[in-house]
Amino acid sequence: MATGTNLKTWIDGRWHDGDVMVMRAGDHGTWLGTTVFDGARAVDGLAPDLDRHCARVNRSAEALMIQPTMDPAEMVEIVWEGIRRYPAGTPIYIRPMYWALHGEYMGIVPKVGADATGFAICLEEVPMPDPAASTTLTTTRFRRPTLDSAVCNAKAGCLYPNNARMLAEARAKGFGNALVADVMGNVAESATANVFIVRDGEVFTPIPNGTFLAGITRARHIENLRADGLSVHECVLSFEDVHAADEVFLTGNLAKVTPVTAFDETSYQIGPVTRRARGLYWDWARSA
């Protein structure tokens, strides 16, 4: 089931209206989970960092031993063709994706070759969240894996069942999202997005350590905040650090900035740095 509405799908060289079928029962990606994707946004005629998202889906494919078949610049052109099929200003979620078609060595290892890779782009109409919307966090017993046990260096579909367990546990406890630990017990990210905290006017975010995907939107916020004169530290963070924060916010492609108003029993106000991060992002996007 799609996240949004009014879907359009690009496959086999052309655009189709609707959520058309793109995978077969015998595809390697269907039965062995070799699927990767990326997510970008089109809002008010802007598609911030679209080129970076298209480049990353190729890197994700390579991490799963899937041979990329599309040049990122070509993907960008195709996406803009699709965006122009919607009324001007429609908020769109952009999802390029690859999957393996065939396997070898008992069918387990994806075959390499242009004829062994599936590719599609899906566009969905998904409204931007209300800027006043926020979420709450709690802990989860599930952790982020390490590179020796999972493909943490890819935006891979096979990683998301673990995220789903985290999110379902948090929702069952009455919270909106989960704040997740890495294998060492330090803060990694939420179940769906990267995390930032603010303390005494300075910004902190977990240092990438190979257990989570350091997002494109995360990197853009770090660059924007530093350019605006704020100190941003990538460092090891504990759950105690989050409890002691003045502000907490999540960053990701779908919502860009999501304020956090509680972490278990600790409450936060939606503070000036959170609002500043949002404003700086859209100022950058409109000027890029």
**Of 9-23, 105-119, 245-259, 263-277, which gets the smallest average pLDDT?**
105-119
As a whole number, the mean pLDDT across the chain is: 96
Domain with 64 in it: what CATH number?
3.30.470.10
pLDDT digits (tens, 9 = 90+) for 145-190: 999 999 999 999 999 999 999 999 999 999 999 999 999 999 999 9
Q: Which amino acid is at 249?
A: F
Distance CA 162, CA 142 (A): 7
Mean of the pLDDT values across residues 241-252? 98
**pLDDT at site 227:** 98
For residues 131-157, give the mean pLDDT.
95
Question: Rounded to an integer, what distance in angstroms lies between the CA atom of residue 273 and that of residue 228?
Answer: 11
Which residue range forms the structural domain that includes residue 179? Answer: 135-287
Quick check: is 130 in a domain?
A: no
CATH code, 277: 3.20.10.10
| pLDDT tens by residue, 40-87 | 999 999 999 999 999 999 999 999 999 999 999 999 999 999 999 999
Handedness of CA 152, 156, 161, 165 (dihedral sign): positive
Same domain, 204 and 117: no
In a domain, 237, yes or no: yes
Give the model's pLDDT for residue 2. Answer: 63
Query: For residue 1, is pLDDT > 60?
Result: no
Pairing status of strand 92-100 against strand 187-190: unpaired
CA distance linking residue 87 with residue 6, whole number of Å: 11
Is 73 found in the same domain as 148?
Answer: no
Question: For residue 216, what pLDDT is reported?
Answer: 98
- 150 and 253 part of one domain: yes
pTM value is 0.95
Burial 189-220 (b: 16+ CB within 10 A, else e): bbbbbbbbbbeeeebbbbebbebbbbbbbbeb
Q: How far apart are CA 142 and CA 120, in angstroms?
A: 31
**Domain end marker among 72, 97, 125:** 125
